[in-house]
Structure 1
């Protein structure tokens, strides 16, 4: 046999097995888009799930709750994640979507360490975010102008914060950012700033977490609504999910994830709540 023919045969023998292996490992892609507040949990759950299911391909992206809901409703992604109920969002038909609440997340006001304030009343907090209080000295802090950093419109974290703190009042015009992580970096480095982020991102000692009415922003205060600034984390599908998507959602709702991973990253399991909240923010005490 000629040398060049032998070389071609060897190439074929090497390529064919690789092709067959590739065919045997075809992956069904699950794209999950939306809430940056839920992103750390879903990313880690996706990584852990992949280790046990090597044929899985889970892609997790942020973009905000509004983006997640609109994308899943359009059928562009398999899952849209959201901090808010679908029925509260304009242009979203909740009847077309299937809701899977998978965790509870706290939201905390944060300020730059140099402002000299660790606690605000709910009234003071609302006055800051509506522009009525403009200097930290007005609330017992340093003589520094207050710089408000808001989340972008479409953010579920912003919607929850404004619903529960501003009570329908308009927020002051301010710089807007589209993710929890970016907000934290800006507050960390910019004197006089204040904003709000979800608990899993509030693990930086260089930011000042603000108590409200002297209630500390910790997970143990959420189940009874003592700390009332919290929201459900939803995974939405358009109608009944396909088999691969359903398996992953069931994994996120499993005892293993709810008991171990959810609190490890900074969330609360849905099973720990002593109260429930509906889409109109009405809180109801749950039975024993």
Structure 2
């Protein structure tokens, strides 16, 4: 891929297989083979991918991960200014989607460089497609906070979300995550845990959130996506009151809970406060 018409380098976001290497497109193979600079999330894993694909490249391969993303972006911008294309490849899936890449995309665009993409596998869309849950409208929430309090607070905010939700989670946190989901979203809320997608041990387990939390105690392994059905249509005042009650149950003062939920949902503060008093 040549630089743009003005001789400036492009950023190329290259989607890599999320499991099986046979999912790599001919376009991906050609871009990797012809690249001048490749920013790889993990250089060792990237070279393993090249071997699996039977590719050799003369590109300068540099690491580009969360720990050095900020500092290395300036170096990659210098390559772009000198007319070299920079290919970004993460360990699996689409760069910048819960993976490195966004910083470089923003910096390149602000500097007037073109950003393009080699489309390919996506764990988000694959999990959504096989979940069996509604796919007409969805949102991607990525990794929620690791600690219980902030995670539960974020799930409370999502309790009335009508769209199907897609999350990433680490296997050692999956059971706690699903337990918090069941408490905030409803024990019977339909969901699917998708693990090791496109790999030999691919598994999709479907059920209510509480049921899946119990399953996860002994079966959480590998790369995991969780897909959760959106909330059914309910009275917005009822949803706001439920959020207030959850916060009070966790020890928050009534006035503070009402103020925060009213701000979050747009509910009338005085009416919500009175409803919470009446419900006591």
Normalised TM-score (structure 1): 0.31
Structure richer in strand, relative to its length:
1
Structure richer in helix, relative to its length:
2
Normalised TM-score (structure 2): 0.32
